[in-house]
Structure 1
Amino acid sequence: MMKKKKLILDVDTGVDDAQAIMVALADPDAEVLAITCCHGNTTLENVLRNTLRVLKICNRLDIPVYRGCPTPLLARKQRAGDLHGKDGLGDVPDPDAPGLELLQKRKAVQAIVRMVKENPGEVTLVAMAPLTNLAVAVQLDPSLPKKLKALYITGGHTEFGGKAAACGRFGFAADPEAAYVVLDRYTCPTYITSQEFSCRNSLPWSFCEQWLAQDTEKAAFMKKITCLSMTSARSADHQTGVTAENGFHSCDTCTVAAAIDDTFVTESDEAAVTVELVGTYTRGAMVLDYEEQLGKKHKAVIVKKADLEKLKQMFMNSLK
C-alpha cells in the first residue's frame, strides 16, 4: 500500500489557497500535517480566520493551524484585495466562523522546524504564500532543507511583463528578500509553478460552472467566496481576448496537485533560480539562469505543462 504524502501547507488564504486546501484535504493520497499562515493576500488575522473557515466547511478542524509572520522581512506590505476581496475570501463573511482560539499556541516557524525534524525525509512543504515563514525557518534551523522531501512553490514569472511589481508575481514581490533566501538556501528538490504556467494551463469556464454546480455544502461555499474573483477574471478574459490565457486557473491548486501526484506534471525545465532585489521595475522578479552564470549547483524544476484531466478530477473531488 502506497504511503500518503505528508504535506505542510504554507498559505496566505485567499480564494486560490482555499481551493488548494480543499483539493489537498479531499485527496486520498495526501496527509495534511498542518497549515501554517503568513501575510499576503490579506492581513494575517484574516488569513487565520479564512483558513479556519475552509477547514470548518471540510469538517477538518482537527488539522492544526499556526500563526506565522505578519509582515515581510524588509519590504512594504502588499495586498491582493482587488482580486480576493478585502478579507481574502470574496468579502462574504460568515457569522458562525470558527474563532482564533482554535489556533495552536506554537508559532508557524517553530512548528515547521519541529514537524520536519520529527519526519525526516518525509515532509513535502507546499508554499503558496509569500515565503517569509520559510525564510525565517531556515534561519532558525539551517539544516531544515536537508530534512525535507521536497518543496513546491507558487511564484514567479518566467517571462517579463507581469502584473505585480511589474515583473514579480505577487508571492515573490510581496517579500523579495524572503524569496531570495528560500531559493538560495533550500537545496531540497524544488518545484515552481509560475504565473505563465497557470495562465497557459487554465480550465474552460464551462468546467468551472460544472464544478460549482455540485449539490453540496462545499460547492455552495466555494461558489460564494469565488463570485468576486470569478467575475473579475471573466471580465478580464472578455476584454483581452487572449485565447491562450482565457479560462479558470488556480496556480495554488496546481502547486498542490504537483506535490500530491508525481504524474501530474507532464513537461518541465530545470534551471538555477534567484530573485532580483534592487531593480526599479524588476524587484521581486524571478531570474532563471539557463546559462549557469550564477554558479549555483542547485536547480529548481520549472513546471511547464500538466495533466488537466487529472486537475479537473481533483477539483471535482474537492467539493464532493
Structure 2
Amino acid sequence: MATQKKKLVIDTDGGIDDAQAIFIMLDSNVYDVIGITCVRGNSGVEQVARNVLKILRAANRLNVPVFSGGPFSILGEKAIKNSYQGDDGLGDCPSIQEPDVSVLQTETATDAMIRLTKELPGEITLMCIGPLTNLATALKVDPDFGSRLRDCFIMGGNYYGKGNITVSAEFNFHADPEAAYIALEQVGCPTTLVGWEVCEENGPTWDQYHQLRSFPGKRNQFLKAIEDKPVAFSIKQGWNYSPADEFLAACMVDPSHVVMETKRVYATVELGGKFTYGQMVVDWNKVLKRDPNLTIVTKIDKNEFFNILLNSAKNDI
C-alpha cells in the first residue's frame, strides 16, 4: 500500500536555484506540493510571482496554486539589490515567455498559509527558500500558526559568520533580518535549517554542471536558459558552482542518504551589529541557556546530492 505523501507549502522568492528546488519537490515521492507562496527577495514580490508561474509552466504544473505576499520587509523596506540572478531574479532570460498572471490566487500568501494550517492542522510542512517575511508575518497575525505546522525547513543563515551578501550575513536572512529573528524565536514546530556553508562546501564541479544541463528535457533547458548569464559570470570570476535551495530540497526528499550530520542548537539573528546585521548567531557552547530551536544540517554526502540533481535532469521530459 502506497504511503500517503506529506502536504507541502513552498515559500519562495522565485530565483534560479529556487526553480530547480521546486522541480525536485514536484517530483518527490515524499511530498505533495499543495501551494506556493511568493516572498520579496531575488526581486520584488510581483516579479517573484511571475517567476514562479514561469517555473510551474516549465514543469507543466500550473495547477499548483500560487499566492503573492506583501511587497515589504517587516520593517517596511522594499528594494533588494541582488544583481547575480539578474534584475528579474530569474536570469533576465529574453527567451522565457511572460506568464498569464490572471491565474494567481487573490488570497495573500500569509492568509493562505494560515488558512491551510487551520484546515489541515499538524499536516503541513513549510519549506522556506527565500527571506522569512511571510512566515514571520503569519506568526505575528496568528501566534498559533507555528504550532499547527507539521514541521518547517529553511534554507538560510550561516553558522561560520562568513556572508555571501555582506561580510557576515547570508542573503535570505539579510533580506529581512527581523523576519528571520521572529521565525527562529517563535515558529515552535520542529525546524531544520540548511545554511550557506553546506551550499558553498558541497557544490558540484563545473564538469558535473555541464553534465546536468546536457539533457534535453523542457525543465532542464529552462534551467540552462535562466542560468546562462550567472554561470558565465561565475566562470569568468573563477567562482565555483554553488547552488543553494537545491541542497534543502535534497535533504528533505532523501535525508537518510543525503544528510550525514546535524546539530541541535539554539540560534538567533543579530539585529544591532554594525557589521553583523542579519547574521545568524549559534549558541554552540550553551552560553545563553536556551533550549534548542533548530536542527542545523552541518554535513551532507555531496555525491548523493549530485545524484538527486542528476535524476531530476534525467527524469525530465
TM-score (norm 2): 0.93
- The 8 Å contact of residues 161 and 280 in structure 2, kept in 1 or not, is answered as no
1:313 aligns with 2:314: no
Indicate yes or no: 2:307 matched with 1:288.
Answer: no
**Shift, 1:134, TM fit:** 0.3
Q: Does 1:63 align with 2:64?
A: yes
Give the secondary-structure state (helix, strand or coil) at the position aligned to 1:314: helix
For structure 1, the residue ranges without an aligned partner over 5 or more in a row are 239-245
**Counterpart selection for 2:244 from 239, 251, 261:** 251
Partner of residue 115, structure 2: 114
Identity of aligned residues (%): 36
Task: Give the C-alpha shift of residue 160 in structure 1.
Answer: 2.3
Alpha-carbon shift at residue 293 of structure 1 (Å): 2.7
Q: Confirm or deny: 8 A CA contact 1:66 1:105 kept in the other structure.
A: yes
Choose which of 264, 268, 279 in structure 2 pairs with 1:270.
Answer: 264
SS in 1 for 2:266: strand
Distance apart, 1:97 and its partner CA: 2.5
Task: Report if the CA contact (8 A) 1:27-1:314 is conserved.
Answer: no
List aligned pairs for 1:1-320, cutoff 5 A: 1-74=2-75, 76-94=77-95, 96-237=97-238, 246=240, 248-263=241-256, 264-319=258-313, 320=316
Deviations 1:42-64 (A, max 9, x none): 11111011000000010000000
Deviation at 1:78, TM superposition (A): 4.8
Q: In the alignment, residue 308 of structure 1 is paired with which amino acid?
A: K
CA distance in 1: counterparts of 2:110 and 2:94, whole angstroms: 28
One-letter identity of the residue aligned with 1:60:
R
Deviation at 1:261, TM superposition (A): 2.5
| Number of the residue aligned with 1:241 | none
Secondary structure at the aligned position of 2:165 is classed as coil
Q: Deviations over 1:123-158 (max 9, x none)?
A: 111111110000010112211111211111111111
Shift of 1:166: 2.2
Q: Deviation of residue 316 (structure 1)?
A: 2.6
How far off is 1:268 after superposition? 1.5
| Matched residue type, 1:31 | D
Higher mean displacement: 57-66 or 267-276 = 267-276
Shift of 1:260: 2.5
Q: Which amino acid aligns with 2:307?
A: Q
Question: What's the offset of the Cα at 1:307?
Answer: 2.7
Amino acid at match of 2:186: R
Measure the CA separation in 2 of the matches of 1:49 and 1:9: 15
Aligned partner of residue 139 in structure 1, secondary structure: helix
Change (3 A) 1:230 1:113: same
Could you tell me how far apart the structure 1 residues matched to 2:180 and 2:196 are?
15
Kept after mapping to 2: 8 A contact 1:75/1:176: no
Give the whole-Å Cα distance in 2 for the aligned partners of 1:95 and 1:202.
26
* Unmatched segments (≥5 aa) in structure 2: none
Matches of 1:94 and 1:122 in 2, distance apart?
Answer: 39
- Mapped partners of 1:214, 1:5: distance in 2: 29
